[in-house]
């Protein structure tokens, strides 16, 4: 039980598992389960980006492009060779990891803003290549329909079954990341992030570990893409454009850089934000403005709020929601004695 | 073959004219990077918001005369950018580069939401008092707005070049760009020059908004011109004003030629793709660009 040294954290991890595996499907309607499924998918992607940006300190604006690599790999394997998701899922991840290594190679020579712009270029170039290669993208629509995943001969058709499937993958991803960041590799990432020259001097091969970071992060992104594909039933490059990369950047920044729990917080926050805005606007906003104006202003309001939140967290709480959580926890840990 | 050649020459002319208009947008990015080391991912959105404000004021809803709309747009961009530097960028001084990049991305989102929300999402135009029949100069063939855009770009690149080389404020600004600490110790008010850099970027964005807005119409799509900024500045060098001209022309010509000659074979889209391929090649061999300072750290 090295992952959870304290009894209280063992207990809360267990309680969360019970909550999401048993209580949530019993209590929630299918609509809310599909929302939680989206959060589960986003969690995997946010963990991947947090490994790269939060732990290894390498900025990537092309995270969604790696998702599209995973998505199209899995979709092609599933439709052309009729492979089950137990094979297409890791295959999509591995393909994305391979592309991630190629994109990561320049990170040896360039960093900071140059790396950001290079990964931005990767986003456009990967998107263009997929879109213009009919053998990858499946013809004029550039989208491939995929059947629901089957497990032990049973198709996961209902939202509840799909929710369990996505939740298991997300839990595996969380535990794998927690293990990764306390391993030799994870500590090497942190050393490179904090001072790359010092890391090189104490014997960490910076090049090797930067490529590891890109490969692992892209693997997560590829898996995320595969999950989106199975969730939506279709692989389409429109699901993985620049805006999605930025959504994931916002998740790790608002959630908390260099924190596994923060990635989960960020995934919850950013995935549910548009739905929360819509709920509030439909119930409160309809009192003030016409319905058709309202429908239009919801997407605009989402963008504004999204931007404001990113800037707010950057300026006021750079460590994100995770820091807020730690503050609350520390307050109650010693409560009622504040010192 | 000669037909192809004539076509290539004509595309070349188009590319140079468009490229100079890209230079104008990219100039705003370079001015900010040069003085404050901040990376502005919202330059395209600056252009968009300037275009939206001016076109809305000049439209039937407000009926400002054109000169007044332009002037109001200019004042708006100056005030807006001063406020921006004060509220958003100043608290982030000294923070890692990702924080500044993300802050400007957040800003881009805000502008994309606010512009259509306040002034309406319908596309509008900016009508400048110029003729709209094409101008033929030798083998080249331009629309008047392209000539006006290219001329404005060259004029302002010259003005900013003169400003940095000859004026007292310009020299002070170069000192700030060189080292914030040393210039502060020499009695230069560093934060005021940060604000000045953002104001200049706002002025340039306003010009870009007018030119691109009258060339291709004004709506949120106008912000996409900002995506051309990165190839231009990487090619020319992140902190070089002459580099912006060279980078802009290279990108303009490359995308015009690609659109003319490669598009028919691959089914379109190379116009947006080619600049980024060029940029990747440049990042591999000369990350600091043709004329940028060699400040790349190596490990």
Specify whether domain B2-121+145-285 bears CATH 3.30.310: no
A100 pLDDT exceeds 80?
Answer: yes
- Ranges A111-120, A149-158, B200-209, most confident: B200-209
Kindly indicate the confidence band of residue A212, based on its pLDDT and cuts at 50, 70 and 90.
Answer: very high
Cα of B135 to nearest chain A Cα, Å: 35
Residues of B in contact with A306 (CB under 8 A): 106, 109
Q: What does pLDDT average to over chain A?
A: 85
Q: Which helix (H) or strand (E) holds A144?
A: strand A143-145
B86 pLDDT exceeds 70?
Answer: yes
B220: tokens are: 């949120």
Residues of B in contact with A303 (CB under 8 A): 109-110, 112-113
* Bridging pattern class, strands A154-155 and A143-145: unpaired
Does the beta carbon of B238 lie under 8 angstroms from any beta carbon of chain A? Answer: yes
pLDDT of residue A338: 66
Angle between helices A63-80 and A206-232 (to 10 degrees): 60
Domain ranges of chain B: 2-121+145-285
Kindly indicate the confidence band of residue B259, based on its pLDDT and cuts at 50, 70 and 90.
Answer: confident
Does the beta carbon of B280 lie under 8 angstroms from any beta carbon of chain A? Answer: yes
Kindly indicate the confidence band of residue B141, based on its pLDDT and cuts at 50, 70 and 90.
Answer: confident
Q: What does pLDDT average to over chain B?
A: 85
Q: Model pTM?
A: 0.88
Does the beta carbon of A293 lie under 8 angstroms from any beta carbon of chain B? Answer: no
A1 pLDDT exceeds 60?
Answer: no
pLDDT of residue B126: 80
Kindly indicate the confidence band of residue A290, based on its pLDDT and cuts at 50, 70 and 90.
Answer: low
Q: What is the mean pLDDT of residues A26-36?
A: 84
B297 pLDDT exceeds 60?
Answer: no
CATH topology of domain A16-333: ABC transporter involved in vitamin B12 uptake, BtuC (1.10.3470)
A positions 190-249 inside 8 Å of B (CB): 196-197, 200, 206, 246, 249
CA atoms of A66 and A228, how far apart (whole Å): 12
Closest partner residue to A196 (CB to CB) among B39, B110, B299 is B299
For A133-158, where are the alpha helices, taking DSSP H only? 134-137
A213 pLDDT exceeds 90?
Answer: yes
Residues of A in contact with B230 (CB under 8 A): 117, 120-121
Q: Tokens 């604006």 sit at which residue?
A: A61
CB pair distance less than 8 Å for B113 and A304? yes
Cα of A313 to nearest chain B Cα, Å: 9
CA atoms of B267 and A131, how far apart (whole Å): 10
């Amino acid at each position: 039980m090295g992952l959870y040294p304290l009894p209280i954290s063992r207990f809360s991890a267990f309680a969360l598992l019970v909550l999401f595996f048993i209580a949530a499907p019993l209590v929630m309607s299918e609509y809310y389960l599909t929302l939680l499924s989206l959060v589960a998918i986003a969690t995997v992607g946010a963990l991947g980006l947090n490994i790269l940006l939060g732990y290894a300190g390498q900025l990537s604006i092309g995270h969604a492009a790696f998702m599209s690599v995973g998505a199209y790999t899995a979709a092609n394997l599933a439709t052309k060779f009729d492979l089950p998701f137990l094979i297409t899922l890791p295959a999509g991840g591995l393909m994305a990891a391979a592309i991630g290594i190629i994109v990561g190679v320049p990170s040896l020579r360039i960093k900071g803003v140059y790396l950001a712009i290079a990964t931005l270029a990767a986003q456009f170039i990967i998107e263009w290549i997929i879109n213009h290669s009919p053998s990858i993208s499946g013809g004029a629509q550039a989208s491939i329909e995929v059947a629901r995943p089957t497990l032990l001969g049973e198709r996961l058709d209902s939202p509840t079954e799909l929710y369990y499937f996505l939740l298991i993958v997300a839990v595996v991803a969380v535990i794998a990341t927690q293990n990764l960041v306390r391993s030799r590799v994870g500590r090497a990432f942190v050393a490179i992030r904090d001072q790359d020259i010092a890391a090189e001097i104490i014997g960490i091969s910076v090049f090797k570990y930067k490529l590891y970071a890109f490969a692992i992060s892209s693997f997560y992104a590829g898996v995320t893409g595969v999950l989106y594909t199975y969730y939506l039933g279709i692989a389409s490059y429109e699901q993985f454009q620049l805006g999605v990369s930025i959504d994931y950047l916002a998740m790790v920044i608002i959630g908390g850089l260099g924190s596994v729990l923060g990635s989960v917080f960020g995934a919850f926050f950013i995935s549910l934000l548009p739905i929360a805005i819509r709920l509030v606007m439909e119930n409160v906003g309809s009192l003030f403005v016409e319905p058709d104006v309202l429908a239009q202003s919801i997407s605009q309001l989402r963008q504004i709020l999204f931007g404001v939140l990113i800037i707010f967290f950057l300026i006021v709480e750079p460590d994100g929601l995770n820091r807020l959580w730690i503050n609350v926890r520390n307050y109650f840990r010693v409560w009622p004695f504040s010192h | 073959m000669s037909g192809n050649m004539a076509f290539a020459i004509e595309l070349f002319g188009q590319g140079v004219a468009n490229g100079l208009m890209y230079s104008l947008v990219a100039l705003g990015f370079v001015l900010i990077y040069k003085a404050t080391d901040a990376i502005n991912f919202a330059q395209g959105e600056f252009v968009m918001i300037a275009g939206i404000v001016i076109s809305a004021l000049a439209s039937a809803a407000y009926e400002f005369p054109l000169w007044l709309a332009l002037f109001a747009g200019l004042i708006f961009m100056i005030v807006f950018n001063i406020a921006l530097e004060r509220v958003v960028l100043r608290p982030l001084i000294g923070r890692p580069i990702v924080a500044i990049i993300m802050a400007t991305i957040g800003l881009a989102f805000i502008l994309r939401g606010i512009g259509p929300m306040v002034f309406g999402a319908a596309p509008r135009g900016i009508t400048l008092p110029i003729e709209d029949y094409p101008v033929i100069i030798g083998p080249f063939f331009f629309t008047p707005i392209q000539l006006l855009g290219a001329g404005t770009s060259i004029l302002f690149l010259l003005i900013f070049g003169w400003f940095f080389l000859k004026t007292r404020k310009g020299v002070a600004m170069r000192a700030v760009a060189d080292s914030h600490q040393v210039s502060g110790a020499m009695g230069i008010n560093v934060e005021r020059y940060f604000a000045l850099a953002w104001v200049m970027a706002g002025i340039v964005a306003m010009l870009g908004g007018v030119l691109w807005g009258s060339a291709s119409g004004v709506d949120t799509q106008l912000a996409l011109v900002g995506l051309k900024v990165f190839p231009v500045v990487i090619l020319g060098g992140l902190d070089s004003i002459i580099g912006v001209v060279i980078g802009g022309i290279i990108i303009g010509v490359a995308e015009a030629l690609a659109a003319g000659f490669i598009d028919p074979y691959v089914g379109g889209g190379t116009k947006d793709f080619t600049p980024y391929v060029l940029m990747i090649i440049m990042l591999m061999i000369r990350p600091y660009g043709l004329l940028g300072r060699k400040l790349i750290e190596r490990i």
